[in-house]
Structure 1
Amino acid sequence: MSEPMLLLWLVIGHIVGDYYLQPKRWVDDRNEHNAQSKWLLAHVAVHGALTGTIVALYIGTVPATAFAVLAVVVTHFVMDVIKSHQIGKPLLWLLIDQAVHLLVLFVLWALLTEQSSLQVVKALLAKVDAKFITIFIGYLLVLKPASVLIATMLDRWSAALESNKAPGETETNTPQVAAGAEPAAEPNAEASHSLESAGEYIGYMERGLIVTFILANQLAGVGFVLAAKSVFRFGDLRDKHDRRFTEYVMAGTFASISIAFVVGLIVALYLGINIQG
């Protein structure tokens, strides 16, 4: 087993222990009883057993195995207790929790294999070429920057929808349109059943998928994304019976698609991908 394989097996052990060998009742009990949860102890014991088995098979010495088990058990217990006390922003804390666990595994791997962290970082950076950076920039552009651009483009129409009147009209309803997000199915916040920020994340996924399908030279996948979105949008527009709202949604939808398509084609052109329909 090569040295990188040890790190990969440690990551696999972490994924299995955190997501496949941790029933929901363990998580609920941890969130309720925090450090006093017996199932939290069972959870970290599972991680200790997985890590110990992997290190024992690879390194084969008791001190190395004991050190690895202790490091994983202690850090996992501390992080899970901290996370159990956090009420708000569950996604943020999930990402922080996973980042800390993976960092611990990386440091543990570096210590066990006597790898210099600087050497590892240099080796990873050496594998990052201009093509990777170009693809990374492409995905960055179609996420938040594209969302801000679309919101700016639609701003003057959003204001008209928020006041529920076209220029020159006198109605005084006050519905709300979320700036920076995909055009909502219903501009009136009080009457809306849409999820908070869901439209924005849907836009992220839509544009990300379009770029991915273009780079994979699978334009049929782009058609699938557009067809799926059209089905849901058709119901929204049919029920709304508002021409201004329909135009607003169409403008936002086509702007989102166009941005993703242009960025995807530019990246594909730079990478020398021959796009075929």
Structure 2
Amino acid sequence: MAEPNTLLLILLLIHVLADFSLPWKRWFSQASSGLHRARALTSYVGVAGLGYCAALALTANPLPWAALIALSLAVARAALHGLLPRPAPHPVRRFLLEQGVSLLAILGVWAAIEGAAAPWRAWLTELVSAPNLLIALAYLLVLRPTSSLIGAALAPWIKEIDKLGSLANAGALIGNLERVLILTFVLLQQWEAVGFLITAKSILRFNEIQGAKVRSLSEYVLLGTLLSFTLSIAVGLAVTRILGL
């Protein structure tokens, strides 16, 4: 039998190739009837199922058992794609849900075949430790709670800001990304990267505000940016102090 990790890598390779190289998703989205959608899903099941079956059979698994597992993986993936609502209200969440469930199924099959459940349980036990939970809590804090706090702090001036031409929810997404990056840089003690991020955003915002020629917008953006950076750095420093980093 091949090395345990070899089977996992082969299964992941087949998943990526079948999921993103085949045109079955495009066929499904362009289908005009349920019959055409079924054909699109069937094409995926056929190709992915054969790939999974070959991988499992070649790694010394009995052919009937390999075929059953392969068909189950392929059908479950196709059913998940077909059952989720369209158009997706949150495309990123949909993508993460589909891929996350598929990867968990592949990991489950691999762990069951290779008897890798015990090492994974030990790894998960080490992962769920107090320092790691504290870091996870810090990332959660700089996302939704911090965003809500900044929104509440800026609420008195929101009516004075002209958001014409802005992308929907772009500001919130930018804020979440910058806070995650800042927290990561603080935990890694990469203060130069924090300074670079501040400089880069300042330049971009300056060009945007200069074009708008609105002082209220510049002050609003400055307040939001300073609050975002201050809270993220404060959370990062608190975590590093607690962990003794």
TM-score (normalizing by structure 2): 0.84
Shift of 1:82: 1.9
Check conservation: 1:203, 1:256, Cα contact below 8 A.
yes
Match of 1:206 in 2: 178
Unaligned runs of 5+ in 1: 165-186
Counting only pairs closer than 5 Å after superposition, residues 4-43 of structure 1 correspond to structure 2 as 6-7=7-8, 9-19=10-20, 21-23=21-23, 26-33=24-31, 36-37=36-37, 38-43=39-44
Shift of 1:219: 1.8
Shift of 1:215: 1.9
Alignment CA distance shift 1:127-1:188 (3 Å)? closer
Check conservation: 1:110, 1:116, Cα contact below 8 A.
yes
Match of 1:151 in 2: 151
Cα distance in 2 between the residues matched to 1:111 and 1:254: 50
Shift of 1:76: 1.8
Matched, 1:72 2:73: yes
Alignment CA distance shift 1:3-1:127 (3 Å)? farther
Shift of 1:255: 0.3
Shift of 1:242: 2.8
Cα distance in 2 between the residues matched to 1:92 and 1:197: 15
Shift of 1:58: 3.0
Check conservation: 1:59, 1:65, Cα contact below 8 A.
no
Cα distance in 1 between the residues matched to 2:26 and 2:143: 33
How much is the aligned-residue C-alpha RMSD, in angstroms? 2.6
Cα distance in 1 between the residues matched to 2:60 and 2:185: 42
Match of 1:231 in 2: 203
Match of 1:139 in 2: 139
TM-score (normalizing by structure 1): 0.75
Shift of 1:268: 2.2
Q: Give the letter for the 2:25 counterpart.
A: V
Match of 1:258 in 2: 230
> Deviations along 1:45-90, whole A, 9 cap, x unmatched?
332233223322334321221121110121122122224x521313
Cα distance in 2 between the residues matched to 1:243 and 1:236: 12
Shift of 1:8: 5.2
Shift of 1:122: 6.7
Deviates more, 1:227-236 or 1:262-271: 262-271
Aligned mate of 2:162, from 180, 188, 212: 188
Cα distance in 1 between the residues matched to 2:22 and 2:238: 44
> Deviations along 1:129-169, whole A, 9 cap, x unmatched?
122111111111111111001011111222xxx1x4xxxxx
Cα distance in 1 between the residues matched to 2:88 and 2:99: 17
Shift of 1:221: 1.6
Shift of 1:96: 2.6
Deviates more, 1:50-59 or 1:147-156: 50-59
Counting only pairs closer than 5 Å after superposition, residues 151-190 of structure 1 correspond to structure 2 as 151-158=151-158, 162=159, 164=160, 187-189=161-163
Q: The residue matched to 2:88 in structure 1 has which SS? A: coil
Q: The residue matched to 2:29 in structure 1 has which SS? A: helix
